[in-house]
Amino acid sequence: MLQFLYHDLILLENQIPWFVLELLFSLTSDSFETKSLLQLALVFFDNIFSSEKSPIQLNLFANQEIQHILDLIRSSLVLPLGQQQGQEETVGSPSILDAKFRRGTLEMPSILVQETIEPAFRNLISYEQCYPNCSPRITSYAILLDNLINNEEEMEELGKSGILINWLNPHDTTPFFKMLYHDTFVKEFYYWKLCWEVNEYQQKFWPKWRAFYTHNFFAKPWAIVSQIAAAILLVLTFLQTIYSMK
């Protein structure tokens, strides 16, 4: 029943204006209720995208005009990020959208892939496409995931690194990420700087050589042992040559 509630409450066509929800809440809530509708809603939808409980920072919503529940969910992902165009800069609590590339490593918060993630993403992207002057933050994130996931092997690698926590069948999940943002219009891609940094780093000699060597010679335990043995043999041969010369 809970999954059905999640699904119905985030459908774009089911949205009720937030001020109506607040009015109904004020008329029906118990007198001893200490939490606001905003707090209760954020707690209820806290585990749609992540299995980790994050602290709720109500100050982020102080000057935010909430349209409806779907807008609240989007704001909970977007508001913790900086507003600087073309890059993500965390200024509040963690968000799945906070992807960075630092010192040769792509850093992304973990995202939980479960039954509710597909309707959540599709309705959030539809909302960004329909609402005037709404920045395509979620749509940009969907494009980023599509570029990272091309097959089941890459999804498995993201799972090993902790970026994807997949509770679904990998065979069914991979096509889902490929179809998320089709037929959408993206005026500004918010991860262009991140992608540019990754591509520039990938073109350098040392990262390409290290990736090739790791993939071909350190992919299996026996290969690691053989490489260590070869290195030791090389060092001993060098020392023996120096000793013979002396």
Q: Give the pLDDT score at 217.
A: 55
187, 164, 94, 123 alpha-carbon torsion, rounded to 10°: 50
Q: Give the pLDDT score at 152.
A: 84
Longest dimension (CA), the chain: 95
Query: Per this entry, what is the length of the chain?
Result: 246
- Residue 141 is inside which H or E element, if any? helix 137-148
- Residue 117 is inside which H or E element, if any? helix 117-130
What is the C-alpha to C-alpha distance for residues 239 and 233, in angstroms, rounded to an integer?
10
What pTM was estimated for this model as a whole?
A: 0.79
| Residue tagged 């806290």 (tokens) | 46
pLDDT, tens digit, 9 for 90 and up, residues 129-145? 999 889 999 999 999 99
pLDDT, tens digit, 9 for 90 and up, residues 100-126? 998 888 899 999 988 888 899 999 999
SS (H, E, C) 142-206: HHHHHHHCCCHHHHHHHHHCCCEEECCCHHHHHHHHHCCCCCCCCCCCCCHHHHHHHHHHHCCHH
Helices (H) and strands (E) in the chain, counts: 11, 4
The band of 86, judged by pLDDT with boundaries at 50, 70 and 90, is very low
The whole-angstrom distance between residue 85's C-alpha and the CA centroid of its chain comes to 18
Q: Give the pLDDT score at 83.
A: 53
Q: Give the pLDDT score at 225.
A: 65
Q: How many other β-carbons are positioned within 10 Å of the β-carbon of residue 194?
A: 20
pLDDT, tens digit, 9 for 90 and up, residues 25-40? 999 988 888 899 999 9
pLDDT, tens digit, 9 for 90 and up, residues 218-236? 555 656 666 676 677 777 7
Which of 159-162's residues contact partners 24+ apart within 8 Å by CB, and which partners? Answer: 162/110
What is the C-alpha to C-alpha distance for residues 191 and 97, in angstroms, rounded to an integer?
10
Whether 63 has a pLDDT exceeding 60, the answer reads: yes
Mean pLDDT of 81-86: 55
pLDDT, tens digit, 9 for 90 and up, residues 154-195? 888 888 888 988 888 877 788 888 888 888 888 889 999 999
Whether 87 has a pLDDT exceeding 50, the answer reads: no
Cβ(91)–Cβ(82) below 8 Å:
yes
